[in-house]
């Protein structure tokens, strides 16, 4: 369970996120939908402790993210939107580093690294520097790192962008599987279609405000009824 | 060509612009500028002294032309040496090359633009060193207007040939380096060229001067000028051009020099047109190799977070060419250079020099060595780049459950490690070659370790205070960041006072002074550590 209580964040006096209120139940895939610049990444960065929260609070599985950051950070795994990870490390060195951070025992990490990277098709690239990876491969190594320590909560910022169809399918299956086990998957996207395929619950964010929250059926109804949302709907469906 | 000029303007602007610098940084530049004034005066004074003395000695035997010859040779060496670093980083290591290559520019146009910044730095040196030297020589020899006119032209052309030679050699080397499998490692090796060059010159000079001393050689007719001609004929041409003013020979050599310099530019652009892209395309780093399952498995092992962090930092430093040259080579350059020079010349003046330390008063020995250590360890590029090195990947430390104190400690241990390496190397030199008495070495060793730790903390505090994370090219972490000398200035001030007080105190005896010094250093360590902890609390999670 993640509770986001009226959080705000501004950069140089301009609000990127304003009074955002959300609650994400267990066992659900939660889609965080919005056009570019809506405030998705900013919200996620506050959830993960990358940005300080200006106002409000975030409680993750009963732990206040701002008050007990170390404890909270053990709860989730995060896939950032940019693949600016440590590029000069080899893939395997990165994974081993993550495993050290989360104190994954040696035989488990060995088995998992092999299983995960093989299913993403990057096993044979593990000995190369991450710098030589394509965007999709970088995405995959980060996702492998997250799955390696098996956190309760997955937080993924535009995880499907740049993945090939096969890996995209694999990741979606893994997300469904995780939710089925009663855990949380929270991910952001700017593509409506992805939400429709994947999500149980959705929140639509625009200009730092939540415009809608509810399940899929409610969302479709709302798009028809609400003139404001219709414009947004167009933005989210064009291209891609 | 107008395209090339435009390109050059853009490149220079991108590298030297003050626009996106904070006011604090601008203030720093002004401070550096002011600090440079007395330094510049000192250099002028120094040059004037050398030229005056040499002129007085050589003029009676009619050999004063040697001064200019020597001057031009030295400038050529200096220009070649500095060009190695600037050319490599501007032509090959800067990652912006790739974005220019995709635009419709000819190789020679890109090369022309990229030469601007290395050239500007050469002209900086040229103005500080060669210009006043030529003027002083003119004053001593009572030369006329013609000397100054020709001198000015020669001055303006002097950097060209050394620059072009270095650039062409590097272009050939990089053309072949580019074929290698591990590009980053190759770049690191090429980055060591400057070092090899410095040692090579040293060896050459030794071989050539034989056993004779410089004074003896100076009096030998033309011996020096011959040495000059052997390696750098153009230096000879320009010195004749300025000493034989008004004669046909002088004019001939002057015109020859001008023609050669202009020819060099053409040669540079022609060679560049053919070879530059061959060296630079596909150079951007990383290693890809045949898959080897065993190698992968070898990396899978559990270790403490601190160890893991430390290894990550060290790997990044050693694998990133810019970091390697700026951090590893720079910290170890001096000690390694010293050791190699001493090994090349086992019977040189320095050997066994340490035994004389016994004669000097213990207090002065310890304080003197401490002072040198502060200067040697004060600028530690690993420390003031601790946070900035991470650049855009810094945020990874924030969402992972690693306590800030551990990340910071790992970074401290890395910069301390660099200091530790130089202390070890210097110890080898001190014990084996200089034969410094064991007790003195031991005390110095302990004192240096603590000093190194303090210096690492100081650099880290400053970097945490004004980190530079938004770079696109690693060089930005070091270039144009004045903060490197802030820790040194602070340390010089604090330790200077400590040395002064101890020097003038009634304390005597090597053990007493050392114990007091170590005690003081430990107190300073505690204080800086306290400031670091506070800085971490205030800044660590708010840098982004
Ligand atoms: N570090 C920053 N400094 C200033 N403005 C920022 C910063 N990060 C994000 N913003 C602004 O905040 C808004 C939301 O950005 P973001 O959360 O990244 O959007 P997205 O929904 O596409 O992920 C945008 O208007 C963006 O320009
Ligand atoms: Mg985003």
Using one digit for the tens of pLDDT, what is the confidence trace for A106-156? 999 999 999 999 989 999 999 999 988 988 899 999 999 999 999 999 999
Contacts of B66 (CB under 8 A, 6+ apart): B54, B58, B218, B224, B225
For residue B181, give how far its alpha carbon lies from the nearest alpha carbon of chain A (Å). 12
Percentage of chain B exceeding pLDDT 90: 30
Chain B interface test: which of A76, A87, A142, A186 (most B C-beta within 10 Å) = A87
Q: Where are the alpha helices (DSSP H) in B19-159?
A: 23-58, 65-87, 97-101, 107-125, 131-141, 145-157
Specify the CATH class of A1-236 in words: alpha beta
Dist CA B95 CA B99 (whole Å): 8
**pLDDT interval class at A1 (50, 70, 90):** very high
- Collapsing DSSP to helix, strand or coil, B42 comes out as helix
- Beta pairing, strands A55-60 & A209-215: unpaired
Give the number of the atom of ligand 1 that is nearest the alpha carbon of residue A45: 17
Q: What confidence tens digit (pLDDT) does each residue in B314-352 have?
A: 999 998 888 988 898 888 877 787 777 777 766 666 666
Q: What is the dihedral of CA B259, B263, B264, B267, to 10 degrees?
A: -170
Contacts of A221 (CB under 8 A, 6+ apart): none
To the nearest whole number, what is the mean pLDDT of chain B?
Answer: 83
Write down the residue that tokens 């980083």 correspond to: B89
Question: What's the whole-model pTM score?
Answer: 0.83
Lowest mean pLDDT among B21-35, B118-132, B368-382, B445-459: B21-35
DSSP B210-249: TT--HHHHHHSTTHHHHHHHHH-HHHHHHHHHHHSTTSHH
Return the higher-pLDDT residue of B5 and B230: B5
State the pLDDT at residue B125: 87
State the pLDDT at residue B212: 47
Q: What confidence tens digit (pLDDT) does each residue in B50-109 have?
A: 888 888 887 887 777 778 888 888 888 889 888 888 888 888 877 677 778 888 888 888
What is the 8-class DSSP label of residue B93? Answer: I
The pLDDT of B187-196, averaged and rounded, is 79
Give chain A's radius of gyration (CA, Å): 18
Dist CA B308 CA B302 (whole Å): 9
Return the higher-pLDDT residue of A211 and A226: A211
Q: Are B141 and B245 in contact (CB under 8 A)?
A: no
State the pLDDT at residue B143: 83
Plot region of B220 (φ>0 → left; ψ -120 to 50 → alpha; else → beta) = beta
Q: In what helix (H) or strand (E) does residue A23 lie, and over which residues does it extend?
A: strand A14-24
Residues in chain B within 8 Å Cβ distance of A86? 312, 316, 393, 396
**pLDDT interval class at B287 (50, 70, 90):** low
To the nearest whole number, what is the mean pLDDT of chain A?
Answer: 91
- Number of helical (H) and strand (E) elements in chain B, helices listed first: 25, 0
Q: Are B154 and B242 in contact (CB under 8 A)?
A: yes
Dist CA B410 CA B135 (whole Å): 52
Q: Are B408 and B540 in contact (CB under 8 A)?
A: yes
Provide the CB-side half-sphere exposure for B39 (13 A, CA).
8
A96 touches chain B (CB under 8 A): yes
Plot region of A19 (φ>0 → left; ψ -120 to 50 → alpha; else → beta) = left
Q: What are phi and psi for residue B351, nearest 5 degrees?
A: -60, 130
List Cα–Cα distances, A49 to A71, A116, B36, B399, in angstroms: 11, 26, 44, 6
Residues in chain A within 8 Å Cβ distance of B305? 100-101, 103
Find, among B181, B291, B286, the residue nearest to A89 by Cα: B286
Residue B284 has pLDDT above 70, yes or no: no
- Collapsing DSSP to helix, strand or coil, A7 comes out as strand
The pLDDT of B353-365, averaged and rounded, is 74
**pLDDT interval class at B245 (50, 70, 90):** confident
Percentage of chain A exceeding pLDDT 70: 98
State the pLDDT at residue B46: 85
Lowest mean pLDDT among A62-71, A189-198, B330-339: B330-339
Q: Are B76 and B235 in contact (CB under 8 A)?
A: yes
A67 touches chain B (CB under 8 A): no
Residue B134 has pLDDT above 80, yes or no: yes
**pLDDT interval class at B211 (50, 70, 90):** very low
Cβ–Cβ of A84/B402 closer than 8 Å? Answer: no
Dist CA B127 CA A81 (whole Å): 49
Find, among B353, B506, B462, the residue nearest to B28 by Cα: B462
Q: How many CB atoms lie within 10 A of CB B144?
A: 11
Give the number of the atom of ligand 1 that is nearest the alpha carbon of residue A157: 23
User: Ligand 2 mean position to A59 CA, how many Å?
Assistant: 22
Find, among B257, B254, B238, B234, the residue nearest to B246 by Cα: B254
Q: Are B521 and B451 in contact (CB under 8 A)?
A: yes
Return the higher-pLDDT residue of B217 and A5: A5
State the pLDDT at residue A240: 45
State the pLDDT at residue B367: 86
A226 touches chain B (CB under 8 A): no
Dist CA B164 CA B161 (whole Å): 5
């Amino acid at each position: 369970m993640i509770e986001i209580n009226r959080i705000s964040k501004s950069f140089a006096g301009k609000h990127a996120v304003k009074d955002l209120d959300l609650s994400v139940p267990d066992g659900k895939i939660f889609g965080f939908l919005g056009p570019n610049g809506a405030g998705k990444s900013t919200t996620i960065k506050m959830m993960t402790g990358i940005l300080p929260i200006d106002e409000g609070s975030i409680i993750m599985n009963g732990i206040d993210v701002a008050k007990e950051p170390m404890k909270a950070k053990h709860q989730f795994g995060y896939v950032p939107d940019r693949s600016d990870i440590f590029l000069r490390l080899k893939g395997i060195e990165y994974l081993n580093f993550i495993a050290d951070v989360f104190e994954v025992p040696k035989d488990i990490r060995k088995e998992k690294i092999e299983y995960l990277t093989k299913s993403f098709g990057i096993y044979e690239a593990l000995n190369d520097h991450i710098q030589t990876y394509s965007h999709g491969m970088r995405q995959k190594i980060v996702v492998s790192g997250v799955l390696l320590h098996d956190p309760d909560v997955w937080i993924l910022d535009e995880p499907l962008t740049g993945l090939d169809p096969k890996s995209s399918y694999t990741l979606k299956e893994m997300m469904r599987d995780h939710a089925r086990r009663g855990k949380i998957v929270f991910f952001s996207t700017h593509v409506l279609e992805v939400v429709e395929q994947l999500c149980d619950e959705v929140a639509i964010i625009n200009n730092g405000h939540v415009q809608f929250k509810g399940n899929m059926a409610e969302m479709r109804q709302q798009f028809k009824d609400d003139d404001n949302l219709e414009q947004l709907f167009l933005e989210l469906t064009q291209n891609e | 060509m107008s395209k090339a000029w435009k390109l050059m303007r853009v490149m220079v602007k991108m590298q030297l612009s003050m626009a996106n610098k904070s006011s604090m940084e601008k203030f720093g530049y002004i401070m550096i500028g002011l600090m440079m004034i007395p330094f510049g005066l000192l250099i002028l004074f120094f040059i004037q002294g050398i030229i005056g003395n040499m002129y007085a000695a050589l003029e009676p035997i009619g050999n004063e032309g040697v001064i200019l010859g020597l001057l031009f040779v030295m400038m050529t060496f200096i220009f070649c040496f500095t060009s190695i670093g600037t050319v490599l980083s501007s032509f090959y290591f800067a990652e912006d090359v790739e974005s220019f290559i995709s635009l419709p520019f000819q190789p020679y146009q890109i090369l022309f633009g990229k030469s601007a910044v290395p050239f500007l730095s050469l002209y900086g040196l040229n103005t500080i060193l060669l210009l006043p030297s030529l003027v002083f020589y003119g004053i001593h020899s009572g030369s006329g207007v013609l000397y100054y006119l020709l001198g000015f032209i020669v001055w303006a052309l002097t950097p060209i040939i050394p620059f072009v030679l270095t650039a062409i050699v590097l272009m050939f080397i990089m053309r072949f380096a580019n074929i290698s499998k591990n590009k980053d490692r190759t770049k690191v090796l090429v980055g060591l060229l400057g070092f090899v060059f410095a040692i090579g010159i040293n060896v050459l000079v030794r071989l050539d001067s034989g056993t004779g001393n410089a004074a003896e050689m100076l009096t030998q007719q033309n011996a020096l000028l011959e040495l000059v001609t052997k390696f750098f004929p153009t230096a000879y041409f320009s010195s004749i051009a300025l000493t034989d003013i008004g004669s046909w020979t002088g004019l001939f050599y002057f015109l020859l020099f001008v023609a050669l310099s202009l020819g060099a530019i053409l040669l540079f652009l022609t060679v560049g047109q053919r070879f530059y892209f061959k060296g630079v395309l596909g150079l951007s780093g990383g290693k890809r190799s045949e898959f080897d399952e065993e190698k992968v498995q070898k990396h899978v092992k559990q270790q403490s977070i601190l160890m893991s962090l430390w290894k990550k930092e060290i790997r990044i430093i050693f694998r990133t060419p810019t970091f390697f040259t700026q951090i590893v080579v720079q910290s170890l350059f001096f000690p390694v250079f010293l050791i190699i020079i001493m090994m090349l010349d086992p019977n040189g003046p320095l050997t066994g020099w340490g035994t004389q330390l016994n004669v000097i008063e213990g207090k002065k020995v310890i304080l003197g060595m401490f002072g040198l250590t502060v200067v040697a360890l004060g600028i530690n590029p690993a420390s003031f780049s601790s946070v900035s090195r991470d650049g855009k990947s810094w945020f990874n430390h924030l969402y992972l459950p690693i306590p800030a104190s551990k990340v910071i400690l790992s970074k401290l241990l890395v910069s301390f490690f660099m200091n530790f390496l130089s202390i070890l190397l210097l110890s080898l030199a001190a014990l084996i070659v200089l034969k410094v008495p064991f007790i003195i070495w031991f005390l110095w060793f302990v004192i240096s370790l603590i000093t190194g730790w303090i210096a690492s903390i100081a650099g880290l505090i400053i970097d945490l205070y004004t980190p530079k994370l938004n770079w696109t090219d690693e060089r930005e972490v070091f270039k144009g960041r004045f903060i490197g000398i802030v820790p040194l200035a602070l340390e010089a001030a604090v330790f200077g006072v400590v040395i002064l007080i101890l020097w003038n105190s009634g304390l005597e005896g090597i053990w007493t002074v050392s114990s007091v010094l170590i005690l003081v250093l430990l107190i300073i360590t505690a204080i800086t550590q306290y400031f670091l902890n506070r800085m971490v609390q205030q800044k660590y999670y708010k840098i982004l």
